[in-house]
Amino acid sequence: MLELENFCFTLEKDEELINLVDRVSLRIPSGHFTAIVGPSGCGKTTLLNTIAGLNPMSEGSIAWRGQDLEEHGDIEPADIGYVPQFSIAYDALTVDESIEIATKLKVKTYGHEDLDKRIDKVLEDTGLTQIADRPVKVLSGGQKRRLSLAMELVTSPQLLLCDEVTSGLDPRSEHDIVRRLHELSRQDGRVVLSVTHSLAHLDLYDSIIVLHEGKLVYHGPPDRLNHYFSVEDTDSIYPKLAKQNAEKWRLSWLKHREAFYQKMAKKRRELLDTGELKVPPHLLKLEDPEAHHELTSEINHGQASEPLEVDHTSETREEPKPPRGKRRRKRSKVPAAHVIEEDQHDTSPDDQQEELDLVETPNLVSQFFTLLERRIKIFSRDRGQLILQAAILLCFPCLVALFSAQGNEPLLQYPDVIDQSSTETIRKLTIISENRLSIGSTVSGIIMFQVVLLALMGSNNAAREIAGERQILEKEKFGGVSPIAYLASKLVFLTCMVLIQSLWMAFFVQFFWPFPGAEVGGGFSQHLIMLTMANAAITSICLGISSLMKTSEQASLLSIYLVGFQLPLSGAVLALPDLVAAITRPFISAYWAWAGSIDSLANRYQAAAKAVTETSLNFDNAFCMQVLGIQIIVGIIAAFIGIKRDQWTH
């Protein structure tokens, strides 16, 4: 049973406290299907989100299965399902793959047979079996809603919350969704709450909650709705609500509440008697001892039946629980009613209680591999992204190679003995000086060109990596996915991208323009490391930006600015004022990769490169690596903070 008592969610606006959910009190028993309706802006979604724990409860109490969630901690992730308004599936995956990945992220399975059995059951329950192999991108609106529902049912949650799952659907699809939710509420004592704007198909609901200005003004059977509001049809209810103050409606409802609840309890007992509603005995005992006693007598086939004693020790936790609103719940074992087979009546109540197996959450490593597998599949099926990456890999190194001819000119050296009185010597010195300036400028430019293009690659790698799937990330965190596993999967995928891009850039350019570092130990290898770290630094920082921004557009724009300022603020073209350089230089990855690569050059090329710039290049290769390493770490930390922080968008 779900119980709310004086349940409130309050926001402060213009120094005034406003109750978006105002003192809602209600009881919803197991095996119950409830619609939450009301005019736009009345607080339907806010109420649902607050029950789910996405909004922190301001006042009152909420209890689930007899336990106050403020005292005993939040509902376990596997015990609650939330179907949001937005799609939580990736277009590149098939229906079957989407459900499989959702299962592998939320449920610890035991072999392929167990996994397939769970997937097949969910496909059957939601009517998706016939289209299991279809890509998500070709599904209709109703099919996508059923898929979102299926991805929530993989843990067989006992509390299922649905937010506008019928919005925008045609009447046939809407009826199909509502009918399936009705059927799901009849299984295993599941509570289903559905926010809807539609007042159609009310006969399929067990009860209707009507909200007005955040207040509960009705909660009762659908066949008494019109009579209570004294209207001829349901479409007239909303205009009728506007004619009276919401508080008066609330007080009026409080006078009639118990009478309506008694009628709903009577109807529920009738459904239990006929077998249309199936509620596990241990749940029935908690909510309706009389109905429970009758049911256990029937199960025991006439044997003397004692009241079923339910061991709640497994539900009692010694650890202090986090306050509501901090919805990053520690994932633990939770009851999974779906493991009770249809022949449950062949076992005793005690055996049934033991048969209520426990759904275990996959560990961090398992979630990591599942997330990585999904990311690789999505990338491999995105033709647009594959073409873009191929074009970048081919075109960018070619752009650098265009300047290789000038860079391959021999670097002339000054003679050991210089005769300043000889005109010929002066002419040769002038030629040598011009040669050194030209070669130094070309070498410096080729290195900086590589660095900047790799920075652009890094931005393209990560700018939308998290922001582009923020809603799905929040939904998966709500379902128990570890932020660490999610971040690790992104880092491994992006590391592969960085290595491929950096190695290809370095070796391709090396073929046309051999890096002049023969006189320095590991000259090219050090240059290769600098290019890789420059790409990694920008990728990491852009990943952090993507994680912290609310939208992919914001993340992309900021990442573009970051790359755009790499060249002018590096000092490679024009030397910056000392104060500006001191402030900006720590944040400019291009400068450190450029300076570190210059330090990897052979001594005479190094001198030539330093001769053409006024920017300080007095940092050795090791120090430049350290700075880039710090930038990588800062980006990863920022990414983790952004991933862990709740950014649920309603």
Q: Where are the domains of the chain?
A: 2-362, 369-410+443-644
Distance CA 8, CA 18 (A): 10
What does the chain come to in residues? 650
Do 24 and 49 touch, CB atoms closer than 8 A? no
Nearest to 630 by CA among 589, 591, 594, 602: 589
Both tokens of 434, joined, read 């011009």
Q: Which helix (H) or strand (E) holds 431?
A: helix 423-462
**What pLDDT does residue 348 have?**
43
Residue 223 tokens read as: 């066949």
DSSP string, 594-630: HHHHHHTS-HHHHHHHHHT--S-----HHHHHHHHHH
Contact 282, 350 (CB under 8 A): no
Instruction: Specify the DSSP class assigned to residue 90.
Output: -
Enclosing H/E stretch for 26: strand 16-28
Q: List 35's β-bridge partners, or say none.
A: 194, 208
Per-residue model confidence (pLDDT) at position 416: 62
d(CA 88, CA 98): 9
Determine the pLDDT at residue 358.
59
- pLDDT tens, position by position, 576-606: 888 888 898 899 999 999 999 999 988 888 8
Distance CA 287, CA 8 (A): 24
Query: In sequence order, which residues have a C-beta less than 8 Å from that of residue 642 and are 6 or more positions away?
Result: 466, 544, 546, 547, 548, 549
Distance separating alpha carbons of residues 623 and 206, to the nearest angstrom: 69
In this structure, the strands spanning 191-195 and 334-335 are: unpaired
CA dihedral (168, 172, 173, 179) in degrees, to 10, reads: 120
Q: What is the pLDDT of residue 596?
A: 92
Residue 547 neighbours by CB distance under 10 Å: 28
CA dihedral 503, 507, 513, 517 (to 10 degrees): 70
CATH of 2-362, one of 3.40.50.300, 1.10.1740.10, 3.20.20.80, 3.40.50.2000: 3.40.50.300
Read off the pLDDT of residues 310-369 as tens digits, 9 standing for 90 and up.
Answer: 333 333 333 333 443 433 333 333 333 333 333 444 444 444 443 345 578 899 999 999
Taking alpha carbons only, the member of 3, 7, 31 closest to residue 205 is 31
pLDDT given for residue 519 in this prediction: 53
In the prediction, which pLDDT does 188 show? Answer: 80
Instruction: Give the C-alpha separation, 295 to 271, whole Å.
Output: 12
> Hey, how many other C-beta atoms are within 10 angstroms of the C-beta on 512?
17
Strands 59-64 and 16-28, bridge-based pairing: unpaired
Query: Regarding beta strands 67-68 and 80-83, do their DSSP bridges make them parallel or antiparallel, or are they unpaired?
Result: unpaired
Tokens 């955040």, located at residue = 214
Which of 534, 532, 529 minimizes the C-alpha distance to 501? 532
Q: Count H helices and E strands in the chain, helices first.
A: 25, 12
Q: Which residues of the chain have pLDDT under 70?
A: 286, 288-358, 414-421, 518-522, 649-650
Proportion of the chain in helix, strand, coil states, percent, rounded to 5: 60, 10, 30
Task: Please name which of 275, 305, 277, 310 lies closest in space to residue 290, comparing C-alpha atoms.
Answer: 305
What pLDDT shows up at residue 319?
Answer: 38
The pair of three-digit structure tokens given for residue 493, joined into one six-digit string: 């995928």
Helix axes 523-548, 621-644, angle to 10 degrees: 20
What's the rounded Cα separation, in Å, for the pair 553 and 90? Answer: 19
Q: Tell me how far CA of residue 395 lies from CA of 285, 453, 556, in angstroms.
A: 70, 10, 22
pLDDT of residue 289: 54
Terminal Cα distance for the chain, rounded: 26
Helix axes 141-152, 111-125, angle to 10 degrees: 140
The whole-angstrom separation of Cα 349 and Cα 340 is: 12
DSSP state of 443: H
List, in sequence order, every beta strand (DSSP E) within 207-258: 207-212, 215-220
Which positions ≥6 away from 251 have C-beta within 8 Å?
none
